[in-house]
Amino acid sequence: MTSKKETTEEKILESAKKIFYQKGLKGARMQEIADDAGVNKAMLHYYFRSKDKLFDKVFEQSVQSVTPVLMNVFLKETELDAKINNLVEILIDLFLKEPYLSNFIVNELSQNPDKLYRNVMDSEGGLIGQIIPVINEQLQVGIEKGIVKDDIKPAELILNIMSLCLLPIMAQGVLQQTLGIDDDRMDRFMEKRKQTVTKFVLAAIQP
């Protein structure tokens, strides 16, 4: 019901997202995006003016689609271990559903640091600024209860969790080749990984 009612603008944006994710700003071709969207190349310029502007739009949308979901996990009132499990599952699901998104964010942001500022930091005091205190408090409680090591830093914990979840997705291609497994087994591997990563992290922070 929804698929046919898409406007041209939406179709372009969707295809642009797809192509930019795969090939980056420089690698993507306007013609390819147009073909994928089934519209004329001139339409891209009609709606978005230039390649750069189209790219910016895609980028902005990507960041905005991820931020609230993550924010939600962090700010939800759950115990630390449930929260970690939750975060791991969301991260893997979120970025696995949109392959290249993590690559895209990491790569394009490295080259245009200013874009990060506009999109991530600006949202009411910053994503990180809001999250760190919350995690900090939970860790503190955990330490007092004696279920968390006393030298665990919240920023590092989050960084470690993100690393464990995202790098395997970013390097999925390499990984599959290296281990010699197909898409199906990869999916199952990632599904299982939600548990192994959670266990790994929980074991690591236990005193």
Binding site for a second copy (CB under 8 A): 22-27, 103, 105-107, 109-111, 113, 116-117, 120-121, 127-128, 149, 155-156, 159-160, 162-164, 166-168, 170-175, 177-179, 193, 196-197, 200-201, 203-206
Q: Which is nearer to a second copy, 42 or 128 (CB)?
A: 128
Which residues, in sequence order, are CB contacts of 126 under 8 Å at separation 6+? 120
Joined together, the tokens standing for residue 118 give 């506009």
d(CA 27, CA 166): 23
For tokens 């640091």, what's the residue? 113
Cβ contact 172:186 at 8 Å? yes
Q: Which partner from the list a second copy, DNA, none does 173 bind, CB cut-off 5 to 8 Å by kind?
A: a second copy
Least Å from the CB of residue 58 to DNA: 13
Among the listed residues 14, 22, 36, 43, the single contact to DNA using CB under 7 A: 43
What's the CA gap between 108 and 115, in Å, rounded?
Answer: 9
Q: Which residues bind DNA (CB under 7 A)?
A: 8-9, 28-31, 39-43, 45-46, 49-52
